[in-house]
């Protein structure tokens, strides 16, 4: 960027140098031509000879100077736009790196968790921190009731009693996303980006992302990320990052559920073993009582 800036400044300074040289050469030529022009001066024609030459040179210099001023102004404006674009690109790249790094670390932490509720809370807390949103919620699909159940919610002004609430598949935005298994990006103003026919009841929300959690072609749940700030705008890069995170969430949820099932199964088998051991030991002790021995 510094080399480009130097090149622009060098070009503008060179143009100004050319202008100065043209003016100097014109003034020098006019100075040496004045004696001969004055000898041929006609009082009846005021715009000839030296005066005409002076006006032509002056007008040309003014035109060239004005063009150079406009050129420099345009170049500086273009350079300012270029620098602003470069800063925006660098900021977005840094934001993307930080976001991806945070999501990767959290994904590793989730897989290491054995408590399913802790995994759910970790998911929503991460969404609030990474995407700078006001609220984030995680809904898990229940096959028996064919509905999505809110299992975790984080952020500001989370409604009381929201945990455990259900939404039928196909009803509302989350239900629509779960049924279609397609992500939805809601732009500022509360209008779905590609699906304007969806009913949007929460008018105070300015932006939102709703992403399904799919694991082996099965619906696991839905992640909702929303904001009420006009400064927060989600884009396609945020959507793709949330989709990747949702895939990791699906793996973590299934891993945690399987781990919980395995622990419950092991505990159940251990209980059965303990009960079986007690039932076999007691008859053996009863058969060896002194009364039975005396009876023999």
Over 60: is that where the pLDDT of 41 sits?
A: no
How crowded is residue 223: how many other Cβ atoms within 10 Å of its Cβ?
25
The pLDDT, as a whole number, for residue 286 is: 46
Q: Which two tokens stand for residue 248?
A: 């990791």
Q: Which of the given ranges, 195-199, 222-226, 231-235, has the highest pLDDT on average? A: 222-226
Q: Which two tokens stand for residue 226?
A: 């929303």
The pLDDT, as a whole number, for residue 193 is: 52
The Cα-based distances of 6 to 9, 11, 15, 80, 89 in angstroms read 5, 9, 14, 14, 21
Query: Rounded mean pLDDT of the chain?
Result: 75
Q: At what angle do helices 2-39 and 49-112 cross, to 10 degrees?
A: 180
Binned at pLDDT 50, 70 and 90, residue 284 comes out as very low
* Strand 135-142 versus strand 147-155 pairing type: antiparallel
pLDDT tens sequence across 90-149: 777 777 777 777 667 666 666 666 677 888 888 898 888 888 788 999 999 999 999 999
Over 80: is that where the pLDDT of 64 sits?
A: no
Report the percentage of the chain scoring pLDDT > 70.
65
Over 80: is that where the pLDDT of 40 sits?
A: no
d(CA 239, CA 242): 5
């Amino acid at each position: 960027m510094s080399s480009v800036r130097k090149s622009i400044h060098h070009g503008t300074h060179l143009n100004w140098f050319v202008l100065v040289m043209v003016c100097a050469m014109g003034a020098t030529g006019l100075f040496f031509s004045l004696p001969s022009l004055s000898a041929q001066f006609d009082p009846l024609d005021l715009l000839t000879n030296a005066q005409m030459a002076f006006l032509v040179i002056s007008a040309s210099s003014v035109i060239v100077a004005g063009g150079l001023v406009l050129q420099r102004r345009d170049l500086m404006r273009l350079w300012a736009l270029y620098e602003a674009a470069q800063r925006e690109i660098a900021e977005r790249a840094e934001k993307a790196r930080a976001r991806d790094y945070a999501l990767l670390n959290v994904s590793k932490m989730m897989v290491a968790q054995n408590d399913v509720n802790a995994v759910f809370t970790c998911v929503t807390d991460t969404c609030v921190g990474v995407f700078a949103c006001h609220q984030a919620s995680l809904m898990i699909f229940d096959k028996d009731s064919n509905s999505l159940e809110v299992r975790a919610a984080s952020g500001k002004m989370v409604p009381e009693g929201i945990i455990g609430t259900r939404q039928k598949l196909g009803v509302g935005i989350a239900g629509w996303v779960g049924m279609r298994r397609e992500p939805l990006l809601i732009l500022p103003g509360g209008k779905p980006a590609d699906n304007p026919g969806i009913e949007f009841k929460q008018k105070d929300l300015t932006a939102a992302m709703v992403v399904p959690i799919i694991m082996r072609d099965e619906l696991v749940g839905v992640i909702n990320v929303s904001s009420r700030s006009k400064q927060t705008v989600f884009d396609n890069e945020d959507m793709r990052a949330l989709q990747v995170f949702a895939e990791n969430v699906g793996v973590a949820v299934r891993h945690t559920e399987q781990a919980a099932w395995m622990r419950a199964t092991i505990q159940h088998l251990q209980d059965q073993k303990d009960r079986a051991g007690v039932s076999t030991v007691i008859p053996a002790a009863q058969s060896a009582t002194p009364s039975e021995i005396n009876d023999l």
